Amino acid sequence: MSTQSLDPSQLRLTIDSASLGFPDTSALRQRPLSWIGQERAELAARFGLSMMQPDYHLFVLGEEGSGRSSLLHQAMLSAAANLPASPDLCYLYNFVAPEKPQAVRLPAGQGRALRQSLLQLTKSLPAEITQCLSGQDFKLKSERAEKKFKLETGQAYNKLDKFAESLRFAIHREDEQIVFTLLDEKGEILTAENLLKLPKARRIAIEQSEQALRDAILLYFEDFKRIERDKDQALAMLRQRIVQPIVNQALKKVQNGLHKQLKQHNRLKSYFEQMEADILANLALFDADNSDEEKRQSELNQIFSRYQINLVVDNADESGAPVIIEDNPSAYALFGSIDYQFENGKLKTDFMRIRAGNLLKAHGGFLMLHLNDLLTDGPLWVKLRRFLRSKRLLIEEPGSAWASNAPVALEPEAVEVNVKIVLIGSRDQYYDLQEIDPEFMRRFRVKVDFAGSFIASADTYLASAVFVSHACEVAKLPHFSAAAVARLLEESHREVEDQKRQSAIFARTEMLILESAAICNARRGRLVEVVDIAAALQARLQ
């Protein structure tokens, strides 16, 4: 078998710059970036991003520097632009079980509108109620009610007084007690000394009369308390009748500010009804005659703080679905948290301190994660697996050490979340997980496989030149001449040691672009030339 020696020039691919079709990369800046040599990966990514059904998450595998993160981010933004804005998510005070705040999803922007309306209500309504209860109409009706019940208590006392008189006792009230004294035949106070002088039968009769009077006094106080209760109830009902139209009008104003379809929103309807009942049940706090004004005002503020909403996800300014890249995942960053603060030596919280994580914020859209970040946190990995299985997210307490000091533990309502997760990992990690955690991998039905190299062609050369042009524009670098681009392409072939294939690891090309441009700037060149690339490559060898 004969062998043929090759000339050194035949071992090195040479690309004719004239065949590229442009003088320098500034002529290409208007052309869009493409998935250079990654057609299969692009097709898989676009298919996966269009499938919003559960368990069609994307696992993106390939070498670092292949553009897998940046290209997927670009594809996520493109897919999100064609989707509607995701709904807002609010947490409301639960009037039945305050420790279990209720979750409500509203169309994008409606959460902010509702929050603003309720904030205005909590500022204006207390003053309106106070003014109403200070008005002449309420005063006249309440005085009439007071007079009616005062008459009843007077009649009850007169009845007791007559009964006492019939038994020859005189009575009078001292604070919350009734004091009685025995009278003689002349109507004067019978002293203890004179009482002992009376016949035994008379003394026994007096003792029986005294017991009868004591029983009558007990009945009187029962009647008095009943009358007081009736009076308080009547005044409470009067307050409610006077104030209810004001509260009703204020709540209708809030509802009229929302979309028409939300007027029939069952949870919101129930919430507004419970809010109205809660306000009317606490009208006694508006009594200006309350001696402890500071305490009264504190209780009023506490009551009206319930009527806010915690807008944990606000999509009012979004025009498409959310796209989030989480580079520092943690339980708090992904799943949300509940804030606490110390008050009087104790940890306290309420529904307004619930915070959403990026899984909730990405509902209806896309979330990119890197597998390496997740694998270093065992509990987070377990929590993510559970979420992917249930599709429901529960914001939990920060931990038992904190919660043990908290007087009330919050249990925010769990919400269903529809999010497309784009998980970036290596090829080895992909196949390892298929072996050790097949349940997890069943959730990632779309494999986006980035190749390490691809067959070179005129199209890939042009696409690579567009990549160089965009890199120069982004970093504000001098553009590359056609000859310099040809030299970059030759280096791409050399990296994979194949005259027919280019390297898909564009991070290396980007580094060479930056280094060559720096040398060009140092010599005050207008364009990066072959000499600059040669100098950059030579510098790497030193």
Q: Would you list the DSSP string of 297-364? A: HHHHHHHHHTT-EEEEE--TT-SS--EEE-SS--HHHHH-EE--EEETTEEE--GGGEE--HHHHTTT
Least confident span in 55-64, 224-233, 311-320, 399-408: 399-408
Burial class (CB within 10 angstroms; exposed 0-12, middle 13-18, buried 19+) of 40:
middle
| Paired residues of 454 in beta bridges | 502
pLDDT digits (tens, 9 = 90+) for 67-97: 899 999 999 999 999 999 999 999 999 999 9
What gap in Å lies between CA 247 and CA 266, rounded to an integer? Answer: 20
Confidence of residue 401 (pLDDT cuts 50, 70, 90): very low
Confidence of residue 344 (pLDDT cuts 50, 70, 90): confident
Q: Which residues of 413-440 are buried (b: 16+ CB within 10 A; e: fewer)?
A: eebebebbbbbbbeeebbeebeeeeeeb
pLDDT over 80 at 376, yes or no = yes
Q: Which helix (H) or strand (E) holds 506?
A: helix 506-522
Q: Which helix (H) or strand (E) holds 415?
A: strand 415-416
DSSP 529: -
Q: Which residues of 167-204 are buried (b: 16+ CB within 10 A; e: fewer)?
A: bbbebeeeeeebebebbeeeeeebeeeeeeeeeeeeee
What gap in Å lies between CA 288 and CA 449, rounded to an integer? Answer: 72
What gap in Å lies between CA 358 and CA 34, rounded to an integer? Answer: 29
Half-sphere exposure of 296 (CA within 13 A, CB side): 13
Cα torsion 28, 82, 374, 334: sign: positive
| Paired residues of 102 in beta bridges | 92
Please give the model's pTM, rounded to 2 decimal places: 0.81
Burial class (CB within 10 angstroms; exposed 0-12, middle 13-18, buried 19+) of 503:
buried
- Structural tokens at position 421: 């997760």
Least confident span in 2-16, 199-213, 379-393, 483-497: 2-16
